[in-house]
Amino acid sequence: MQGFFDKNGKEIKEGMLLNGGMEYASLWGFPKFQIGNYIDEYLIDVEEEGENKPVKLWGSYLEFQNGDCRGINSEFLKDFEILE
């Protein structure tokens, strides 16, 4: 199984918060979800053309690879939509 790493090179493992930690979540108000959590209800922000737009993830479980998501270098393997 391929490992996943945040933008600082730290490996992201099962049970770790994917929002940069509690301070990050407290500052921005993001929900704290973990690898393996159901994600149908979660909203996050992605940057598109210089501005952040809310995104809804859907699928069974959160999965990611290279890219950018919530401050962690990740890209969705499941579908997502940008909300207007």
In terms of Cα–Cα distance, which of 50, 30, 35, 51 is closest to 1? 35
| Structural tokens at position 3 | 């490992």
Q: Is residue 28 predicted with pLDDT exceeding 50?
A: no
Structure tokens at 73: 């270098």
**Would the pTM count as exceeding 0.75?**
no
Residue pLDDT, tens place only, 47-56: 556 565 555 5
